[in-house]
């Protein structure tokens, strides 16, 4: 949705859809508005805050690869998708991200 970047440009990774079976591919894109500088790169880490509704799914498919982080496989309907709809460009939770801490608790 290009309206999300109006007036500010974009500097970050975009996931490529339909890259192939079991292939997760990304492209790094920088777009600046005429007469403006390129936006800063998104931070390596950022904080996401959502409220869990009792009895409702979070809408995350995770792969627990190790005891340190959870790999975001996909995002479905739920609080994280709602968060992404209002998040600033570059601070959305995306497939391919790693979750390193939840409620102040880290993996070991």
- Parse the chain into domains and list their residue ranges: 1-41, 43-108
- How far, in Å, CA of 88 to CA of 83, rounded? 10
In this model, does residue 31 exceed pLDDT 70?
yes
Q: What is the mean pLDDT of residues 19-26?
A: 81
CB–CB of 1/85 below 8 Å?
no
Give the range among 4-8, 10-14, 68-72, 89-93 with minimum mean pLDDT. Answer: 4-8
- What pLDDT band is residue 2 in, cutting at 50, 70 and 90? low
Burial of 87 per CB tally in 10 Å (0-12, 13-18, 19+): middle
- How far, in Å, CA of 80 to CA of 68, rounded? 21
In this model, does residue 68 exceed pLDDT 70?
yes
- How far, in Å, CA of 77 to CA of 58, rounded? 8
């Amino acid at each position: 949705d290009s309206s999300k970047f109006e007036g500010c440009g974009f500097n970050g990774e975009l996931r490529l859809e339909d890259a192939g079976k079991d292939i997760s591919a990304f492209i790094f894109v920088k777009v600046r508005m005429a007469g403006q500088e390129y936006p800063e790169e998104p931070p390596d880490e950022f904080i996401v805050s959502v409220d869990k509704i009792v009895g409702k799914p979070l809408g995350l498919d995770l792969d627990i690869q190790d005891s340190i982080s959870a790999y975001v496989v996909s995002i479905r309907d739920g609080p994280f998708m709602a968060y992404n709809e209002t998040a600033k460009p570059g601070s959305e939770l995306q497939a391919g991200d790693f979750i390193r801490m939840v409620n102040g608790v880290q993996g070991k």
